[in-house]
Chain A
Amino acid sequence: MVGRKAVVWGTLAQAAVLDSIRRKDMAVAGILSVLLVAGAGLLGRFGVRGLELFLKDASLTVIEILSSVMAVLFSTRQVPEEIARRTALPLLARPIGRGDFLIGKFLGAWALACMALALFGGIVAGMAWALGVGLGQIYIQYLLLRALALGVLCALGIALSCWTTAPAATTLALVLSVGTGTFGRALMLVEGSSEGAARNIARTAWLALPQFNLFDLKEKVAYGWPPVAGWVVWGLAAYAALHCFVLLALANARFQRQAL
């Protein structure tokens, strides 16, 4: 049963990836990568002596933004496009449940986002090597945790696209991916200076929202800290899995009742 499900999910994910490649979506990632390389070339031309820290910080911020944008764009259009092109119904006519459809689409979007992340991550690593800037082993952990964060972001994109229109889902997902760090800190400040109901609301909101900054090792990479302990990575994997499960369940709750 699980094996058959895995085949269905894998096939749907593969179809999403192939469709995206056929539509030359990865070309967008390629163009953005060229911009990254051009930026690195410019920095290299000026010289980076003493600016390694700033260079690492800026490069990782660029990776973070670009990979988030790609993940949101990949995930928020998967379901609405299948419905708009009227290809969802033939797919679901086969022995594929609506929940399987969503999981397959989520896995496809996540795979695409990870491919874009690998591309950007590889370019930054190459650029750092060429400029003689050390990233350290923690960079691998950074990419791994970034991939987990992209998983949550893809699940968020799928969920939002089931409950709203595709453009609204894209906007909301982008705002949440960028804003939860700031919003989370604001909630912590509110929680610290309030009592009673206000404090409980702040705590609940903090726990309910996916906290993307928990996956963000950028500062530690930039300032040359050692890698984090293994339990942290496993803990975050569990946190990401929980959020993905909840978000996909919310998406499924709406998609089950959606007219195709």
Chain B
Amino acid sequence: MRGSHVVGFALAGIALAGASAVARQVRPEVEAVPRAARSRDRVAEAARSTLFGTFRTSMADFLWLKVDRVVHNGVDVRAAAEASHHDDATDADHDDHGHGAEETVVRARESDWRGILGDIERAIQPYEPIGTHVHRDPREALPLFRLMTTANPGFVDGYVTGAYVLSREPDGLDRALEFLREGERNNPRDLRIASAIGTMLTRKARRHDDALPYLVRTIELAVARDKSTLSEDELEAWQDAVRALATGRMLAGDKAFAIRAAKAGLAEFPDDPTCKRVLAELEGK
């Protein structure tokens, strides 16, 4: 290759690089993207997000249901139907295992009209009478909580319930708190997670000062909302935070704060026994 060719290639390369740089600078101004194309792209993006979001939600819900099956050793249970004609004979009795009014999805023999086919179903599906069936340790479901919150980081129930199960593990408290903090990063406006962190720090770790910001934040988040829009779980989380704040400050020796917290708590939850007890202890009422 002659020297003139090398110089020519070098100049061509420099020219291409320069043109590319200029094109990058001017592209936003000269690129004509029709409005329709832009909105089409946005719609496509929204559709992808919706589909992916639906998948994540469904996956998390599916795993949530699996947790229940794991705890019941695979036996499928449901709330007992009030209108059922078989209430006297299905496994719907209240029992000593904390089931309340639950019944197995597979029908009990006493109420089954299917004869041998019913016996076969009870042999094929995981089935044991509701009052006597074996329960597995909920800790076996821990990987499912990890999986469901990975699938859907907005699944607050997974974080809260998973953290309580995790806290029952030996040395599990720190991991439970870390799990909840991850949930808080993903759901900063959810009062249930803030409440769970605060109450866990108060009741299990006895770190009352560390719990304070979380409990205060829970109450702030709850007060900022219309009480009638709060779900049952959120109301419970709020009340839990009020109780933990009153008892925690009392145990930390901050009597004035504890009294204020108990009075504020009673203003929202007039029958709360914990707040009444704190006031009785501190004010002698």
Contacts and interface: CB of A to CB of B under 8 A. Distances in A.
Interface of A: 49-51, 53-54, 57, 145, 185, 188-189, 191-193, 195, 203, 206-207, 211, 213-217, 219-220, 222-223, 225, 228-229, 232, 235-236, 239
Contacts of B73: 223
B83 interface: yes
B120 interface: yes
Contacts of A189: 81
A211 B106 CA distance: 14
A235 to B, nearest CB: 5
Contacts of B114: 206-207
A158 B76 CA distance: 34
B120 A235 contact: yes
A50 B140 CA distance: 7
Contact of B142 (A50, A188, A235): A50
Question: 4 tightest A-B contacts by CB?
Answer: A223-B74, A50-B143, A232-B123, A51-B143
B36 to A, nearest CB: 37
Interface in B95-127: 105, 107, 111, 113-114, 116-117, 120-121, 123-126
Given A192-B84, A220-B126, A235-B120, 19 more contacts: A49-B143, A50-B142, A51-B143, A53-B70, A57-B66, A191-B113, A193-B84, A193-B85, A213-B121, A214-B121, A215-B124, A219-B76, A219-B125, A219-B126, A220-B74, A222-B74, A223-B69, A225-B126, A235-B116
Nearest to A145: B124
Interface of B: 63, 66, 69-70, 73-74, 76, 81, 83-86, 105, 107, 111, 113-114, 116-117, 120-121, 123-126, 140, 142-144, 147
Contacts of A207: 114, 117
A54 B81 contact: no
> Which of B84, B117, B140 is the most central at the interface, judged by chain A CB atoms within 10 Å of its CB?
B117
21 contacts: A53-B70, A188-B107, A192-B81, A192-B84, A192-B86, A192-B107, A203-B113, A206-B114, A207-B117, A211-B117, A213-B121, A213-B124, A216-B124, A217-B124, A219-B69, A219-B126, A220-B74, A222-B74, A223-B73, A223-B74, A232-B124
Nearest to B83: A193
Contact of B85 (A49, A145, A195): A195
A54 B66 contact: yes
A142 to B, nearest CB: 10
B105 A192 contact: no
Contact of A220 (B107, B124, B144): B124
A31 B73 CA distance: 35
A207 B142 CA distance: 40
Contacts of B121: 213-214
A232 B116 CA distance: 9
A27 B118 CA distance: 39
A229 B81 contact: no
Nearest to A49: B143
A187 B73 CA distance: 25
Nearest to B66: A54
A215 B120 CA distance: 9
Given A49-B143, A53-B140, A232 B126 contact: no
Contact of A54 (B76, B124, B143): B143
B103 to A, nearest CB: 10
A25 to B, nearest CB: 30
Contact of B117 (A185, A193, A239): A239
Contacts of B123: 228-229, 232
A13 B203 CA distance: 70
A235 B124 CA distance: 11
A153 B113 CA distance: 25
Contact of A228 (B76, B116, B124, B143): B124
Contacts of A185: 105
Nearest to B105: A185
> Which of B70, B85, B124, B125 is the most central at the interface, judged by chain A CB atoms within 10 Å of its CB?
B124
Contact of B120 (A49, A57, A214): A214
A214 B126 contact: no
A189 B144 CA distance: 30
Nearest to B150: A46
Nearest to B73: A223
Nearest to B72: A223
A54 B70 CA distance: 10
Contacts of A236: 120, 124
A215 B69 CA distance: 20
